[in-house]
Amino acid sequence: MALDNRKINLLLQKFRANPYRIFVVVTPHTGYLREFLVKEGDEVRGPAGKWLEKPGSPLFVLERERNPKVIRAKAGGLVSKINQELLGRFVEAFEPVLEIKHTLTQKEIIAELLRETLHIVTAPEKARYFLSPELAKKIEKEGEGRVLVKPGEELAIMSFMKRETPILHEGPPMVVFRVFFSRGQMVEQGGPLLGLCLEEERPYVEKLISRVKEEWPA
């Protein structure tokens, strides 16, 4: 479905109605659930720090073979739906224990929307990537979201062990809306490289982003 005002409203409506992501915390393995370290409504935080070196908040203690293990939050948010019945009981692996209601941030909403609205070009292999020189020059001159690429045109160059492979554009002519890598960056296989959209959709995508920024302050 092509992007228009109606679709924008629909998308925004979806996030307005439910600006959360629910993380269901399950038991990683079997064991006795000895203790809950949080109450319903408590705020917990996920791993933090530049290298995610600070672990998330402790949620509950799962004991197996006299090895009490503190299970920690993988994401920040409010604790809900604690399954109190499991307390003190033996539980199987992957048993839902509680939920963390994570409020989506502006950045996360934009990322989610771009994933839905843009055509994402992904990395075929783990390698270093460079924008094609012509495209880089054009983007530098005109800016992101202004450069049109035609089918068969070179988008990026994949460089691995001195072997360079061009990544060509396939499909209808599109504008380069976002570049997700910096020059020479090592990108994992399947990682996003470029976000493209049809030229007529571009104003809508821009509008969508500006509306998100208005409604969900950073």
Binding site residues, another protein, CB under 8 A: 29, 49-51, 53, 64-67, 69
Closest to another protein by CB, 64 or 146: 64
Closest to another protein by CB, 24 or 111: 24
Closest to another protein by CB, 30 or 122: 30
Please report how close the Cβ of residue 203 comes to another protein at its closest, in angstroms: 42
Please report how close the Cβ of residue 69 comes to another protein at its closest, in angstroms: 6
Tokens of 69: 């293990």
Cβ atoms within 10 Å, residue 180? 17
Distance CA 77, CA 139 (A): 38
Please report how close the Cβ of residue 65 comes to another protein at its closest, in angstroms: 4
52-84 b/e (C-beta count within 10 Å ≥ 16 → b): eeeebbebbbbeeeeeeeebbbebbbbbeebbe
Please report how close the Cβ of residue 50 comes to another protein at its closest, in angstroms: 6
Cα dihedral: 125, 137, 210, 181 (round 10)? 20
Closest to another protein by CB, 53 or 85: 53
